[in-house]
Chain A
Amino acid sequence: MLTQIPILSLLIWLPLIGGFLVLFGPGDKMLVWSQRISLVISIIVVFLCGLLLYMFSGASGQMELAEYAQWIPSLNINYSLGVDGIAVPLIVLTGFINLLVIIGAMGSIKFRRAQYYSAALLLTGLMNGVFAAQDAILFYVFWEAMLIPMFLMIGVWGGPNRIYATIKFFLFTFFGSIFMLVGLIYMGAKAGSFNIADLQKMPLTMFEQTWIFIAFVAAFAVKIPMVPVHTWLPDAHVEAPTGGSVILAAIMLKMGGYGFLRFALPITPDAANEYAWILIAFSLVAIAYIGFIALAQQDMKKLVAYSSIAHMGFVTLGIFIIFKLSNLDASSMAVQGAMIQMISHGLISGALFFSIGVLYDRVHSRDIADYGGVVNSMPIFGALMMLFVLANAGLPGTSGFIGEFFVILSSFQADWRIAMVAASTLILGAAYSLWLYKRVIFGKPLNDTIERLEDINTREKFILISLALMILALGIFPQPLIEIMQPSIEGLLNLTQSKLEGAA
C-alpha cells in the first residue's frame, strides 16, 4: 500500500504548497499560525524523508519510485520523477536541513518572518524537485526557480551589502545555467525526448559532446563552485541571513556535484574524459589556493565560505579523477568520496553557519576580531563548535574525514602527486579551522559583552546537537549511506565506461 504513495511529488509539492499557504494565508499578521504551519510541514517532510528511505530499495541502481504525467506532449516534455541512490541522500539531507532552518529562524529572524518561512519552504520543495526530476526541462525549471527564493532571502533579510551580493549571486549562477539550457534543448531536439535516461543513452559526436560538456561545466562549476568562478559565494554567504547561508552551503552547492554526476559524466563521457585534467587541476587549485585564502580571512562567514570552496574541490576531484583510474573499485571509492563529502559538508557547513548565527545574534558582528574567550560564558556552545571545527578539519570519526580520505586514497591510485596536493588540506584545513576556533572561542573574555553572553538556548541546542549527532554517526558508521549509493554509483560508472569504450 505504501508503494502507492506518490512520495516524490509529496516531497516537492507539500513544502511548495505550504510555502504559498504561509505567504498568502496567515502571513505576518497571524505569525503564530505561520510558524505552526511551517513547522508542521517541515516535520512532515522529515517523516516523508524517512518513508523515502524505507521505500527505496536501492539494490538495483535504477531509478525507483517513478512518477509520470504528461506536461507538454507536443514537445515531449513530461512531469517525470524518480530517484536513485545518488538523489535519495541529498533529498533526505534537504528535508533535515529545512527543519533546522525553520526552527533556527524562529529566534533569529526579526521581521517579515512569515515570508522567511515561506521562502525556506519553497526552496525545499524546489530543491527536492531538482534532485527528483527525470526530465531535463523539469529539472531546469526547478533549477532556475530555486534561485528566486534564495535571491529573496539574501535580498530581504541580508546584511548591508546585500544588493550587490544578490545580483552577483544571481548573475553568476544564471549565466552558467543559460548555457546548460541551450545544451539541453539541443539534445532534446535531437533525441526527441527530454527524458534524462534517453539523453544518457544518446550517442553524440565528440564535437557535440565538447560543446555540451562546456555548457554543463558552465552551469555546474559555478554552482558548486569551482575556482575561478567561485567569487560569488563568499559575498553571498556574508550577506545572507543564517538560514540562507545554511541552505546555500548545505544543499545548493551540492546541485553542482549532482549535476556533474547526473548529466556531465553519462551524457558527455568522451569530452569529460578529454578535459578531466583541467577540472582535476582546478579542483587541486581549489583545495590548496583557497586553503591559503581562507587562512587570511577576518570575517567568520567568509572563512567558512572559502573553506566550503576548498571542500567542494574534493567533490569535483573525486568525480573527475575516475577518468584517470582503471579499476572500478578505485572509481567507486572516488565517487563515494565525492558523494559523502557532499552530504558531510552539508552537515558540517550547516552546523558552522548555524554556530556563527548563534554568535551573530548575540554580538551582531561577524568579525573575528570582535570575539575572544567565548567559551568562558558559553561552554556548551564552545564544546559543540569544537566538534564542528574539527569535523571541518577532517577528523576521523566525524563525517568530514570520509570524503577526503576516499578521494585522496583513490586519486593516489591515479597519480600520487595529485593525492599529495589534495592531502595538503590536512594541514591547511586544520590551520584555518583551529585558528578560527582559537581566536573566537579560546582565551580570556575579550570584553564585557563576551563575558556576559548567554549560552545556547534549547532551540539552538536542538539544532546544533542534532547536527553533531549526524556528523558523528556518519563518521563512525558510514556503511548504511555507502550501501544506499553503491549500486547507483556502480551503475553510473559502468554506463560512463561503456559509452567511453563504445566510442573508442
Chain B
Amino acid sequence: MGIFNQLLIIVFAPLIGALLAGFFGNKLGRVWTHRIAISLVATSFLLSLKIFLSYFYGSAEPLNQTLYHWASFGNISIQVGFLMDSLAAMMIVVVTFVSLMVHIYSIGYMQDDNGYQRFFSYISLFTFSMLMLVMSNNFLQLFFGWEAVGVVSYLLIGFWFKKESAIFANMKAFLVNRVGDFGFLLGIGGILYLFGSLDYAPVFEKMQQAKAMQESAQGVLASGEVTALGALGLEKTFSPWAGVEWSAISFICICLFIGAMGKSAQVPLHVWLPDSMEGPTPISALIHAATMVTAGVFLVARMSPLFEFSETALAMITIIGAITALFMGLIGIVQNDIKRIVAYSTLSQLGYMVVALGVSAYSAAVFHLFTHAFFKALLFLAAGSVIVAMHHEQDLRKMGGLRKYMPITYWTSVIGTLALIGTPFFAGFYSKDAIISAVAEAQGWGSNFAYFAVMAGVVVTALYSIRMLLLVFHGPQKMDEHTASHLHESPKVITYPLLLLAVPSLAIGWITAEPMLIGGYFDDAIMVLNEHNTLAHLKDIFGNAWAFALHGFVTPVFWLLLIGAIAAWFVFAYQPQLAELLAKVLMPIRKLLQNKYYFDQFNQKVFAKGSLGLGRFLWRYGDKAIIDDGIVNGSAHGVRKLADKARKLQSGYLNHYALVMLIGLMVLIGYLYLRN
C-alpha cells in the first residue's frame, strides 16, 4: 500500500468512526460504538506511528499530493491534499496517540452518561478534523481543519447542554476563536495576494530562495542595496493611511499569528480556555491540552519560512508568548478548581511554546508541544480520575490524602507533575530547557523580557503544580464522610491510559530530544535563518540526552524549580497557616489574580454588551427611525391611505388579480404600440 493511501486511512478512519457512532450509535449500542470508534482510531494511530518511524529512523522524503480539486478556475486552483513531512508525522502521532488514550479512557469516564455514543462521535470527529489540519498541504484545508476543530470543541464544551455555564462557555470559545480566525483569514488573503496561490509549496519555495539569496549575498544585502525579498518581488507594502507603510510579509505573519493566538489561547484571546473546562474531562485532555490548542504553535512552525522574514512579527510573538507564559501561570496559583489549575498551566506552557517560536527556536517549540501533549494529557486524565472518585467534586479544598486510595492515579500524577515542572530526565525538562536556553541566546526585540518571564515562569510552574499535588493527594482528608467511604482507585479503562501516557511523559525525551532539538529531524519542514539560529549552541552542551539531563542539575533553572517546589511545600503543606496569612497580606494581588486580571469583566462589559447595545441602537435609530419612519414615512403614509381604498379591491381571488395584471399589461403594450 502506497504512503498516500495510508495517509487516507489515517485521516478518514476516525471520520468513519464518527459517522457510524453519530448516525447509528443507538442501533449499535454502547459497546459496539466504542469498539468501532476505538479500533478505527487505533488503526489510525498504528499507521501514524509507522509513518513517523519512517521519518524518525529512515529519513523518508516529504510527500506532497493532491486528493482532489476543490475549486479550480482560470489560473486558480484550490485543492484538498496532504503534505507529509517530519513535522506532520510528529503531529499525527501525537494526535492519534492521545486520541486513542482518550477514547479508551472515555469508556470509563462517560459510562453513566446518556450521550455516550454522541460523545464518541464527537471525539472521533475531532480526531479527523485535527488530522486534516496538520496534514494539509494548502491554506484552504488548513482553514477547514482549523474551523472544524473549533466546531467540535464548541460541541464538546457544550456537551452537557443543559448547564447554563457550559453553553455560555462554548459560545464564548467559538466567538473568541472567530476573532482569531478573522486575522487568519486576512492572512490567507495576503498569501493569495503576494504569492498568487493557496498551496504551501510555492510559498515555501519562494521563501527558500529568499533565504538562499540572503545568505549567499550577505555582504550585498547588508549594505542595503538589494534585499532578497525585493529581488523576488515580495517586498510589497500595505498602507493603512497616508504616510504609514507595512511590509506585506509582516502584515501576513501578524494576521496569521492572530489566528494562532485564538486557537493557542494567547493573551488577550486566552479567555475562552479556562471556561472550556465546562466540558467533560477527557476532551479537556485531548482538545484543550494536547492537540487543538497547539494548532497555533503548529501553524507558526509550519509557516516558519514566512515568519523568519518578519522581525516585527517575531518580536510580537515573543512578547505575547512571554506575557502568557508568566501571567497565566500566576493565576494558576490561586485557583481551587483542579481542572482550572491544569487549564492555566496549559496556558502558561502554550506561552512557553510561543516564546520559543518568537525567538526562532521552532524545533524547541514543537518539541515542547510534543512532550507537553503527553504529560498534560496525563495530568488532565489523572484529574479526571480524581474527579470521578470524588463524585464530580472539583474543589481542591475538599480533597486531600487521596494518595493511599488511588496509588496509580497518584504515581502517574507525580510523573506528570515532575515532567511539567521540568525535572531533569523527564520529558518536559528537555523541551523546556531548550526553550529557556534559546531565549537566553536570542537578540531580538523583547527577548530580555521574555527571558525574565520564562525564568520566573519556572518558579511559578513549580509552585502551582506542587501545590495541587500536595492538596489533592497529601495532607488531611477534607471530603465529607459519604465521599470518603466510597473512595477507590478508578477502573482499568481509566488507569491504563494513565500508565500508557506516563511512559512517554517520563521517557520520550531520552530518544527524541537529541534528533528533534539538534539532530535536524525537522530540517525538511522548518526553516531558520542562520542569524536567528538560537538552538545552534545547544550542540555544545548537549552531548547526549543523558549528559544534557545531568547538566540540567547545575543550571539556574533547576535552582528556580527547587525554590518553587520547596516554597509550595512549605506554604501549603508544612505551614498551612502561612498560606492564610499570605493570602491576607497579599490581598490586592490575590484579588487581581482571582479575577484573572479582569479580562472577562472587560470583555463582557465592552465587547458583548457594547456590540449588543450598538446593534440595538442601530436598529432603533438607523433602521427604524431614519430609514423607516424618516424616509419611508412620507410615502408610507400616503400608501396607507391608498391602501384603504386598495383593500376594497383585494378580493383574495387570483383570477381578479390576473385580470388586473392583464389590463395593466395591455395598457402598457398599447402605449408602446401607439408611441411607435
Contacts and interface: CB of A to CB of B under 8 A. Distances in A.
Interface stretch (A33-41, A50-58, A87-95, A425-433): A425-433
A178 to B, nearest CB: 11
Question: Looking at chain B, what size class is its interface with the partner chain?
Answer: 35 or more
The binding surface of chain B is classed by DSSP as helix
Contact of A395 (B151, B631, B673): B151
Given A416-B190, A417-B240, A402 B614 contact: no
B171 A479 contact: no
Contacts of B622: 289, 293
Interface in A388-438: 390, 395-397, 402, 405, 408-409, 412-413, 416-417, 419-420, 423-424, 426-428, 430-431, 434-435, 438
Which 4 interchain pairs have the tightest Cβ spacing?
Answer: A412-B189, A296-B615, A292-B615, A295-B615
Interface stretch (A148-156, A240-248, A272-280): A148-156
A409 B76 CA distance: 12
A413 B192 contact: yes
Contacts of B643: 163, 167
Interface string B609-628: 00110111011001100011
B583 interface: no
Contact of B70 (A292, A386, A443, A477): A477
B178 interface: yes
20 contacts: A74-B673, A122-B654, A148-B658, A148-B661, A167-B643, A171-B635, A231-B623, A289-B622, A293-B619, A295-B615, A296-B615, A332-B73, A332-B74, A397-B148, A409-B188, A412-B186, A434-B154, A435-B171, A479-B72, A486-B74
Contact of A152 (B69, B616, B646, B657): B657
Contact of B182 (A141, A292, A427, A434): A427
Interface in A104-156: 115, 118-119, 122, 141, 144-145, 148-149, 152, 155-156
Given A148-B657, A168-B639, A412-B193, 12 more contacts: A122-B654, A155-B652, A289-B622, A292-B618, A293-B615, A332-B74, A333-B73, A396-B140, A405-B140, A412-B186, A413-B192, A430-B174
A366 to B, nearest CB: 16
A75 interface: yes
A384 interface: no
A17 interface: no
B76 A426 contact: no
B654 A152 contact: yes
Given A438-B167, A438-B171, A479-B69, A396 B143 contact: yes
A23 B186 contact: no
A328 B74 contact: yes
Question: Looking at chain A, what size class is its interface with the partner chain?
Answer: 35 or more
B647 interface: yes
B148 A409 contact: no
B174 A482 contact: no
Contacts of A479: 68-72
A376 interface: yes
B510 to A, nearest CB: 40
Nearest to B628: A231
Nearest to A414: B193
B60 interface: no
B676 interface: yes
Given A23-B654, A295-B611, A395-B151, A430 B178 contact: yes
Contact of B614 (A122, A155, A292): A292
Contacts of A72: 669, 673
B168 to A, nearest CB: 8
A402 B251 CA distance: 24
A61 interface: no
A431 B611 contact: yes
A373 B175 contact: no
B70 to A, nearest CB: 6
Contacts of A373: 162
A434 B162 CA distance: 16
A155 B389 CA distance: 63
Interface in A293-322: 293-297
A66 interface: no
A26 interface: no
B238 interface: yes
B638 to A, nearest CB: 10
Contacts of B192: 409, 412-413
B161 interface: yes
B631 A408 contact: no
A294 B615 CA distance: 7
A420 B185 CA distance: 9
Interface in A138-186: 141, 144-145, 148-149, 152, 155-156, 163, 167-168, 171, 185
B144 interface: yes
Contacts of A402: 71
Contacts of A443: 161-162, 164, 167
Interface in A309-343: 328-329, 332-333, 336
A471 interface: no
Interface string B177-203: 011011001101110110000000000
A471 B615 CA distance: 29
A123 B72 CA distance: 34
B632 interface: yes
Contacts of B611: 292, 295, 428, 431
Nearest to B635: A171
B31 interface: no
A478 interface: yes
A386 B125 CA distance: 15
A141 to B, nearest CB: 7
A332 B76 contact: yes
B151 A390 contact: yes
